[in-house]
Chain A
């Protein structure tokens, strides 16, 4: 069964360092999402891509976070510099397309700990 792949699964870094997460969506899925889930809360959308274009990045802290999906397939989320409050699970999801009733499939996530 096709799955969304994410790496690394776990990342520990020190404050002010740079970190990067990678996501490979299900083959053929045009829409890709990055979510952040803080402990005890639900996932919150950071950025959404349709192919290589950003559709929604209204909740992305653009002073330190960046995301790209250069060829419209895999994607990278970067944080520079990392802060203590960035400790969270970072989830990637993909869907076949934008449109009504379209299901999002989630990857296993990257758990980030900032010391």
Chain B
């Protein structure tokens, strides 16, 4: 039972354009969402997060949007840069108890120079 889904295994975007990565979830108890970025041979690194009380959170070139009614979130990267090429994981958790993260399967983003 995949509670967090990233339906696009890969995405290619021209440098300078917008990258949009999507994530859907099924568990209505999730109330905190995170995006992690992972380079080969490294562990995931935290990128940006959003609480369910918000619908948008912005940090520099990265913006996360949350649509609770659709159980959908997206990560926008503008402008995309070659260093953004990585695997991006969406994760969710219930914000009480043990903060267990449930991850999606990841989207490999390739920025084309």
For chain A, the bracket of interface size reads 20 to 34
- Closest CB in chain A relative to B86 CB, distance in Å: 13
* B positions within 8 Å CB-CB of A: 4, 32, 36, 41-46, 49, 51, 89, 91, 95-96, 98-101, 103-106
* A55–B98 touching, CB < 8 Å: yes
Judged by DSSP, the binding face of A is loop
- Considering the complex, give the chain B residue whose CB is closest to the CB of A3: B43
* A101–B95 touching, CB < 8 Å: yes
* A positions within 8 Å CB-CB of B: 4, 9, 31, 40-45, 48, 55-56, 91, 93, 95, 98-109
**Could you pull out 28 A-B pairs where Cβ atoms are within 8 angstroms?**
A31-B99, A40-B105, A41-B106, A42-B91, A42-B103, A42-B104, A42-B105, A43-B44, A43-B101, A45-B100, A48-B98, A55-B98, A56-B98, A56-B100, A98-B98, A98-B99, A99-B99, A100-B32, A100-B96, A101-B32, A101-B51, A102-B99, A104-B99, A106-B43, A106-B45, A108-B41, A108-B42, A109-B42
Whole-angstrom CA separation of A45 from B100 in the bound complex: 7
Taking CB atoms, residues of chain B closer than 8 Å to A107 are: 43
Taking CB atoms, residues of chain A closer than 8 Å to B100 are: 45, 48, 56
* B105–A104 touching, CB < 8 Å: no
Whole-angstrom CA separation of A9 from B41 in the bound complex: 9
- Considering the complex, give the chain B residue whose CB is closest to the CB of A59: B100
Whole-angstrom CA separation of A100 from B32 in the bound complex: 9
Taking CB atoms, residues of chain A closer than 8 Å to B105 are: 40-42
Taking CB atoms, residues of chain B closer than 8 Å to A101 are: 32, 49, 51, 95
Taking CB atoms, residues of chain B closer than 8 Å to A40 are: 105
* B44–A91 touching, CB < 8 Å: yes
Taking CB atoms, residues of chain B closer than 8 Å to A108 are: 41-43
Whole-angstrom CA separation of A40 from B96 in the bound complex: 29
* A106–B44 touching, CB < 8 Å: yes
Whole-angstrom CA separation of A95 from B101 in the bound complex: 12
